Structure 1
Amino acid sequence: MSERKVYVLGGGISKMAAERPDGTIRDWVVEAVMEAVKDAGVEIDNIEHATTSYFSDHFDKQLKQGAIFHDSVGMCPKPNVRVEGGGATGGLAIRNAYAYIKAGLCDSMIVYGAENMGRHVP
């Protein structure tokens, strides 16, 4: 059996700012994901699986943001895994996608994440 190769096909990032009053964390995830999908030259419908990464549920006072992000980007009802690991969360999300594809659990996966530590949510 030949060894599976894993590639990164595209990337996207939302506008970075100390404060962004122009939307919610969900809006910014969608912004970055749509840019990444366009950069990769694929359609979101053709992606089999997702990994969501964000540091903490507590900053936005919202549990289960991974599922909310997943639905917001149009991936529902496809599989999604949430990864959390403090300052290593983003890197662990990429590692998770690599491991899933390398092991043959899926052929394509999108990785997305968000953080909102600087914004006060009443």
Structure 2
Amino acid sequence: MNLKISGHHLEVTPALREYVISKLDKVLRHFDQVIDGSVVLSVDNHKEKEKRQKVEINLHVKGKDLFVESADGDLYAAIDLMIDKLDRQVIRHKDRLQGHQHEAIKHQPLAPQIEVPPQ
């Protein structure tokens, strides 16, 4: 899997990079058909008193693109929220791929055939 981790108004430290990668391993345990992904860590300074840490991930899996974002006052808490949301989306996507709405015709039992004697 190709993973790109970048920061917007924020320097991505090796500790942050390792934290994101270790948390993404949780998602990869459920679904291993991930092609690539990009994570953007950012800080919004709309109000000087309150800094909002925001995390976005765009994950390209087989058959679909998943996008999740979360925000919190603490960057590590925002990463945890994002991973929880992404995990739920990946599990739901996997269930949709594996969920067969109906059985194939060849696997359905045959109805008993009753022969009617000619009259």
| TM-score normalised to structure 1 length | 0.29
Give the structure with higher Rg (CA): 2
| TM-score normalised to structure 2 length | 0.29
